[in-house]
Structure 1
Amino acid sequence: MNSKIITTLEFDKIRQQLAQHAATENGKQTLLKLEPLTDYQDVQERQDETDDGRKVKRLKGGMPVPRLKDIRMQLKRLEIGGSLNGKEVSQVGRVLTTTNEVLRFFEWFYEYEVDFYKLYTIVEELIDLPDMRKRIARSISEDGEILNDASPELARIRQNIKATEGAIRTKLDDIIRTKANYLSDALVTIRNDRFVIPVKQEYRNAFGGIVHDQSSTGQTLFIEPQAVLDMNNKLRTLSADEKHEEERILYELSALLEPHIQELKSNHSVLTRLDIINAKARYAESIHATRPTISKENHIAIWAARHPLIDPETVVANDLLIGEEYQALIITGPNTGGKTIVLKTMGIIQLMGQAGLQIPAGENSQIGIFNEIFADIGDEQSIEQSLSTFSSHMTNIVSFLEHVDENSLLLFDELGSGTDPQEGASLAISILDYIGGKGSYVMATTHYPELKVYAYNRPGTINASMEFNGETLAPTYRLQIGIPGRSNAFDISRRLGLPGEIIDQATGFIHEESQSLNEMIADLEKKRRQTELESLQLNKQINESDQLLNELKKASHELESTKESLVEKAKQEANQLLQKTKEEAEFLMQEIREMQMNVSKNSQVKEHELIDLRRQFDQLEQKETVVTNKVLRREKEKKKLKAGDEVMTASYGQRGVLVEPVDKNQWVVQMGIMKMKLPESDLSKIEESPEKITRRKQKQIASVRSESTSHVSTQLDLRGLRYEEAMMELDSYLDAALLANYAQVTIVHGKGTGVIRQGVRDVLKKHPQVKSFDYAPASSGGNGATIAVFKG
């Protein structure tokens, strides 16, 4: 693309602003030379990079690329076997440190799987050299000073230097204290890298040694006393050793860097590229820019376009459209109306977009890709070259027409001006026809009324104008596409007080066709304002309709929420009623079990039938929508389980009583005649209501009274019973025997398979009131019966 366009559209100022956001020296220089690209894929990739930079800026405030010096010269010196100084090694080390920081910075994006177009591919090119990075950090400070840790020898030398300097100062301080009268000033100073004291001229021989300097008056001599001469010599030797060791360290570091020149070049290049992406993102944010889409057909639609170099507080945004329905836009209207700014805005935004920058425009804006953008803007007359305004314009246009094609955009300010109006208008029309024949895109400003008619009649061409407020007599700087501009000279003159007869006479001088054209334009503007008014009213009605629709949606949502709330409330009430019924059923079932034990061993009421009955109760329950939260879980944790608690088992849907814990997570649960090991997570404690507790106590009292008045045998025969029946019979019998105050009882279980016998012994072993038990004597049944002795 021609270099002149960069200056004409002030793109160089954009580059300067952009470079201020760069941190690296090479990044600044690259941005100051930033050029628009003309390949679709290249532009797309540059826009992808800028978009990635905006995402990093939004999520983490930008990439950690500090101010880095350009190290290409240092690397070139290493390639030819040269040695770097401390500051240069430090600059190389800074690149290595930054490489490591950037790699660690992007670990967060990898972890959270943030999507990027290009950044991951770019960052993966970085090569960390941890050993080299640590060695430089240990040896060289950020300002290029060689550190003591660079080598043990350097540390030893510097320690000796420090000690020697201390000894010299101590010796000189003693001299100053004892012979202060001989001195011009009581201080130690340095001349020719040696410690000296200021001695009065008349006492120059009092200290011996060497005179290194004298004051301007000659009254003070700076003498190195004989007493410190040897120590100063030693210090000079140590300083030379220090310098030699520093040179050796720098040479060694340079030699260590030499094999990594390519990695360092690559890292430097990648960091520069990341810095440029960072800068483009920061600049885009500073001007509130957006990413444009790119049209391969060069259909330009830039919404709310703003010139980036105009104060954001005063700039007027305009929609710029060209390429799809028309390829030429002719802008007419009075001076100082903003026509030139519209041209520049179109041109500079197009340059920015093709350079990979985001543009100061609204979302979903679209730019094209032009191989060339030509602009003839401003008065370029030259006294030295004897060129008039017209000649300078024509010179530019001639150079443009030699290179235009279907991928060119031309911007003309006051096309055909600077000469006879009739000839200028004719030339302008011919130039536009020529450009149209080449298929180029053109935006032109003009004062010629002939071009308004041309734009109206020629296919692919459209009129536009800058709006003018007739009431305030001031331009609004708003672009109106589709409406040609008209002169406001008569209106302005009348408002400013020019006599009416003058205006009327002037009106008569205007050609009838021009007068009709102005009247047509005025009518178009009137209809446009009316259309805008109707549009505003329509938009107001649409907004009101949208507001009403939102209110209806909100009311519908609230109604639905109320409905769900009522249904949930009904379910809760039904479940409460059902729970009360289930509790009563539990008491009934318990009474049935007791009746089964007391009435007959051959009862037909079976335990599995009772469990089935309980499950039928459970099936009546309505499932509520319960929101699990931490508060509920904590509340549940507060209800710690303990032996004797009544619980509900989730797996079996049956009530039970906790007998004893097996371990931290399991309990033995008594469900009717069955005992089972169940996990604690399967159990939920049942909180008894006051009415239920009262009824249970009354029942226990009645049961005790009944048992105490009934006859209980001292012997229980379990032969012929099933295991479950036998264990249930045994539990009831032991309670009854204890209430009867028996000292001991005999349980006949028979020999058989030994299952019931073992069950009896297990129950007796765990019973808290059984003192001891053993098989009966041989004469009383032997191991077919067991005698249990109760505690006194």
Structure 2
Amino acid sequence: MNKKVLATLEFDKIIAKLAQHASSEAGRSFAEELKPSHKPEEVQQWLDETEEAAAVIRIKGNVPLAGIYDIRPHAKRAQIGGVLSGVELMRIASTIAASRHIRKFIEDVRSEGQVTLRILPEKTAMIPVLTDLEHKIKHTVDENGRVLDSASDALRHIRHGMRSAESRIRSKLESLTRGQSAQKMLSDAIVTIRNDRYVIPVKQEYRSHYGGIVHDQSSSGQTLFVEPASVVNLNNELRELTVKEQYEVEKILRELSAETAEHAPGLFTMTKMLSEIDFIFTKGKFARSMNATKPLLNEEGYIHYIQARHPLLPADEAVASDIEIGRDYTAIVITGPNTGGKTVTLKTTGLSVLMAQSGLFIPAEDGSETAVFQSVFADIGDEQSIEQNLSTFSSHMVNIAGMLNEIDHESLVLFDELGSGTDPQEGSALAISILDEVIARGARIIATTHYPELKAYGYNREQVINASVEFDVETLSPTYRLLIGIPGRSNAFEISKRIGLNSAIIENARSMISADSHEVDNMIAALDTSRRLAEQHEKETRDYLRDTEKLHRDLQKEVIAYHEQKEKMEEKARAEAAAIVEKARAEAEDVMKELRAMRMSGAAGMKEHELIEARKRLEGAVPEQKTKKPAIEPAKRQWKPGDEVKVISFGQKGSIIEKAAGDEWVVQMGIIKMKVAESDMQFIKSEKKKEPKPIATIRGKDFHVSSELDLRGERYEDALKRVEKYLDDALLAGYHQVSIIHGKGTGALMKGVRGYLTKHRMVQSIRFGGSGEGGLGVTIAELK
């Protein structure tokens, strides 16, 4: 992408907004150097990175990226033998600690299993572990970069001596400031420092009283800062200790710098990986701030943005529009008056393409798709050049001429007010000729124009479609919504009438317009009316569908809850039965033990009543089984389809649909069809009407068919077999809508499943899941 196009579309402003979300200078540098790529594999990799970061941010909120510095200059200087300062070493330790935190953070997120991560763990795995160096630096240098007393025994002794000397000096000088003559001879009763030596402020006339050395004087010359003779030796001692301290500190830093140099390659790698990770999360934060989504990629030059917004406009001000180009038509000609939003549409499209090819999410709804173009060209705005003495028209033509030297079938071309700035007749002819040339090369084009001649152009070319930006005549203002397929109207007469212009003048003006123009305007008006009516019907249908889906989901929840409750009760009953059987078994075992004991003690001597009593105890150990007696018909009944029955185990009424295997029948209870044993049915009455046509039996592992099919992790062939079987079961279960969960992944499974559903004879329509239904990882199929 050339720099002029990036500047024209204001891509630099996108970069500036992106860089604000970086946590480190290195990450900010990555953001500021970002440029769109024309390699599909690279673009996909970048988008996958952003997707992982956005998912982590959505789940965790914050990412521990604080404390990262660009330590490459420090590591390089240590490598060539330089001595690093305490601050530089502390930055190295801070960066190592940050790498440890982010590595653990990513590992924890992955182990929780809420989101699938691939790229981020790969990058954290490449970060070298330098914990020993981190600890050594932190045991040597404090947070402000000062070498700690504990860094060496020698330094500890030196600083102890320095504190002792300072204490003696201060004690001596403070005794002088508290003396009887201090108020008279001193300018102020304080102890201060000049030239790294402790002094007191003495009035000029009493200089000789204290002796010692004068180190400074006030600006007026009335006060001298004197080091009294009584503390000169103490100050000398302190100065010697200070020199020793500096030497010892330098020695410690030199040793630590040498050790840092050994780890320089690892520090270079660490900085690079942390910068990339910071940049990846910068993209994720930027996506969240814009409420942006990941677009699907293709290499067919197809763009379909769903409710796309201009990325530089405030979210509450930007008007969303659907933009589609590249399949049924390769060129869009947007006509209409100024200030209607035509240029905003051009920039929205161009910026969204550049953002996607830079690995950034775009401000559009889920399911939006974009192409990877080899080049993007834009001729937008007034580019008049005073230095070159070119008019606006000439400037545009110079720009377009340069573009025509490079445009091919892998290009996106944006023309703003094509052919303007010259005679309308010549300008419109030139605009048509330019469009014909660019269309012939196979490029994707969006052009705006004032010329009414180009309205007909859209109808006369197969690959071209008209469009306009909606204008509300009632409010006399544009709505900024893009209307594909409807050319723009000037609305001059309607606006004039609304603001009170004389009707006679308006009618006179109408008479001057040609019949063809009247027909075109009437056609546009009719299209606009039809569009509004269609939108109203679509909204009503969508509302009805939403209510129906909600009712269906509620019913599904109730059915699922019922089955869960039933399973719990059955499990409880099985547990109680098992306990009873176990108790009976234990009782029987006790009786058998007693019988054996009696036999061993001499069975011949046993009394008859003892045997009878033991036999009764053995029989009593068997749990009593209660059988349910039919309330109405004890005899075997000849069941037939159409009979109304009561399913005893459920307490619900239903009707028999058809015979199943064995002694089971398919019974319909409301929206639920299930197989019921004859012993679990109670006859109510026979159906006098014509017997319903038998339907195929659901031959699954259970009578219940879920409204969702999860294919994640399945192989392609196995997944399609499962979809085929599942659709049969769902149709027989009476479902009107099912959800196929295929995940996003590489997109292969998703495309295969959606292709199969599109061709299936019993699938009426498909769509991606909504924001609460799984998004692009789920396909919703409407069944016939």
TM over 0.5: yes
- Cα shift at 1:149: 2.0
Please, what is the CA RMSD of the aligned residues?
A: 3.6
- Cα shift at 1:350: 0.9
Checking the alignment, whether the CA contact within 8 Å between 1:53 and 1:62 is kept in structure 2 is: no
- Cα shift at 1:298: 2.4
Matches of residues 219-618 of structure 1 in structure 2 within 5 Å? 219-546=222-549, 549=552, 601=606, 603=608, 605=611, 613-614=619-620, 616-617=622-623
1:159-185 per-residue CA deviation (whole Å, 9 max, x = no partner) reads 111110110000111122223132221
Aligned to 1:2: 2
Alpha-carbon distance between aligned partners in 1 of 2:131 and 2:580, rounded to the nearest angstrom: 73
Aligned to 1:208: 211
Alpha-carbon distance between aligned partners in 1 of 2:299 and 2:482, rounded to the nearest angstrom: 26
Aligned to 1:36: 36
Checking the alignment, whether the CA contact within 8 Å between 2:311 and 2:363 is kept in structure 1 is: yes
Checking the alignment, whether the CA contact within 8 Å between 2:72 and 2:267 is kept in structure 1 is: no
- Cα shift at 1:416: 0.8
- Cα shift at 1:572: 13
Checking the alignment, whether the CA contact within 8 Å between 1:139 and 1:150 is kept in structure 2 is: yes
Report the 3-state secondary structure (helix = DSSP H, G, I; strand = E; otherwise coil) of the residue aligned with 1:199.
strand
- Cα shift at 1:568: 11
Alpha-carbon distance between aligned partners in 1 of 2:417 and 2:30, rounded to the nearest angstrom: 35
- Cα shift at 1:197: 1.0
Report the 3-state secondary structure (helix = DSSP H, G, I; strand = E; otherwise coil) of the residue aligned with 1:204.
helix
The total of aligned residue pairs comes to 623
- Cα shift at 1:80: 2.3
Checking the alignment, whether the CA contact within 8 Å between 2:580 and 2:623 is kept in structure 1 is: no
Checking the alignment, whether the CA contact within 8 Å between 1:487 and 1:518 is kept in structure 2 is: no
Give the 3 Å change call, closer, same or farther, for CA 301–94 of structure 1 in structure 2.
same
Larger Rg: 1
Checking the alignment, whether the CA contact within 8 Å between 1:589 and 1:610 is kept in structure 2 is: no
Checking the alignment, whether the CA contact within 8 Å between 2:30 and 2:276 is kept in structure 1 is: no
Alpha-carbon distance between aligned partners in 2 of 1:544 and 1:216, rounded to the nearest angstrom: 87
Matches of residues 50-199 of structure 1 in structure 2 within 5 Å? 50-113=50-113, 114-178=115-179, 179-180=181-182, 181-199=184-202
Q: Match for 2:451: what amino acid?
A: Y
- Cα shift at 1:110: 4.6
Moved more, 337-346 or 549-558: 549-558
Alpha-carbon distance between aligned partners in 2 of 1:370 and 1:504, rounded to the nearest angstrom: 50
Matches of residues 634-713 of structure 1 in structure 2 within 5 Å? none
Report the 3-state secondary structure (helix = DSSP H, G, I; strand = E; otherwise coil) of the residue aligned with 1:443.
strand
Report the 3-state secondary structure (helix = DSSP H, G, I; strand = E; otherwise coil) of the residue aligned with 2:84.
coil
Report the 3-state secondary structure (helix = DSSP H, G, I; strand = E; otherwise coil) of the residue aligned with 1:205.
helix
Alpha-carbon distance between aligned partners in 2 of 1:398 and 1:156, rounded to the nearest angstrom: 80
Give the 3 Å change call, closer, same or farther, for CA 575–30 of structure 1 in structure 2.
closer
Alpha-carbon distance between aligned partners in 1 of 2:526 and 2:49, rounded to the nearest angstrom: 49
The sequence identity of aligned pairs, in percent, is 46
Matches of residues 704-743 of structure 1 in structure 2 within 5 Å? none
Name structure 1 gaps, 5 residues minimum: 626-792
Report the 3-state secondary structure (helix = DSSP H, G, I; strand = E; otherwise coil) of the residue aligned with 1:46.
helix
- Cα shift at 1:75: 2.4
Alpha-carbon distance between aligned partners in 1 of 2:256 and 2:547, rounded to the nearest angstrom: 75
- Cα shift at 1:254: 1.2
1:411-449 per-residue CA deviation (whole Å, 9 max, x = no partner) reads 111111111111111111111111111111110111111
Aligned to 2:26: 26
Aligned to 2:635: none
Alpha-carbon distance between aligned partners in 2 of 1:10 and 1:109, rounded to the nearest angstrom: 36
Alpha-carbon distance between aligned partners in 1 of 2:543 and 2:61, rounded to the nearest angstrom: 40
Report the 3-state secondary structure (helix = DSSP H, G, I; strand = E; otherwise coil) of the residue aligned with 1:310.
coil
Aligned to 1:762: none
Checking the alignment, whether the CA contact within 8 Å between 2:79 and 2:262 is kept in structure 1 is: no
- Cα shift at 1:621: 9.0
- Cα shift at 1:545: 4.0
Q: Match for 2:619: what amino acid?
A: L
Alpha-carbon distance between aligned partners in 1 of 2:576 and 2:203, rounded to the nearest angstrom: 112
Alpha-carbon distance between aligned partners in 1 of 2:334 and 2:398, rounded to the nearest angstrom: 22
- Cα shift at 1:310: 0.7
Alpha-carbon distance between aligned partners in 2 of 1:77 and 1:590, rounded to the nearest angstrom: 90
Alpha-carbon distance between aligned partners in 1 of 2:574 and 2:135, rounded to the nearest angstrom: 70
Q: Match for 2:275: what amino acid?
A: T
- Cα shift at 1:198: 1.2
Checking the alignment, whether the CA contact within 8 Å between 2:595 and 2:614 is kept in structure 1 is: no
Checking the alignment, whether the CA contact within 8 Å between 2:106 and 2:120 is kept in structure 1 is: no
Report the 3-state secondary structure (helix = DSSP H, G, I; strand = E; otherwise coil) of the residue aligned with 1:472.
coil
1:739-777 per-residue CA deviation (whole Å, 9 max, x = no partner) reads xxxxxxxxxxxxxxxxxxxxxxxxxxxxxxxxxxxxxxx
Moved more, 63-72 or 30-39: 63-72
Give the 3 Å change call, closer, same or farther, for CA 217–470 of structure 1 in structure 2.
closer
Q: Match for 1:13: what amino acid?
A: K
Give the 3 Å change call, closer, same or farther, for CA 213–316 of structure 1 in structure 2.
same
Aligned to 2:710: none
- Cα shift at 1:451: 1.1
- Cα shift at 1:295: 1.1
Aligned to 2:732: none
Report the 3-state secondary structure (helix = DSSP H, G, I; strand = E; otherwise coil) of the residue aligned with 1:139.
coil
Alpha-carbon distance between aligned partners in 2 of 1:443 and 1:568, rounded to the nearest angstrom: 66
Checking the alignment, whether the CA contact within 8 Å between 1:48 and 1:117 is kept in structure 2 is: no
Moved more, 553-562 or 333-342: 553-562
Checking the alignment, whether the CA contact within 8 Å between 1:303 and 1:319 is kept in structure 2 is: yes
Please give the TM-score of this superposition, normalised by the length of structure 1. Answer: 0.73
Name structure 2 gaps, 5 residues minimum: 629-648, 650-784
Q: Match for 2:100: what amino acid?
A: N
Q: Match for 1:468: what amino acid?
A: F
Report the 3-state secondary structure (helix = DSSP H, G, I; strand = E; otherwise coil) of the residue aligned with 1:106.
helix
Q: Match for 1:153: what amino acid?
A: A
- Cα shift at 1:617: 3.1
- Cα shift at 1:537: 3.4
Q: Match for 2:31: what amino acid?
A: L
Please give the TM-score of this superposition, normalised by the length of structure 2. Answer: 0.73
Alpha-carbon distance between aligned partners in 2 of 1:161 and 1:554, rounded to the nearest angstrom: 79
Alpha-carbon distance between aligned partners in 2 of 1:57 and 1:232, rounded to the nearest angstrom: 59
Moved more, 141-150 or 202-211: 141-150
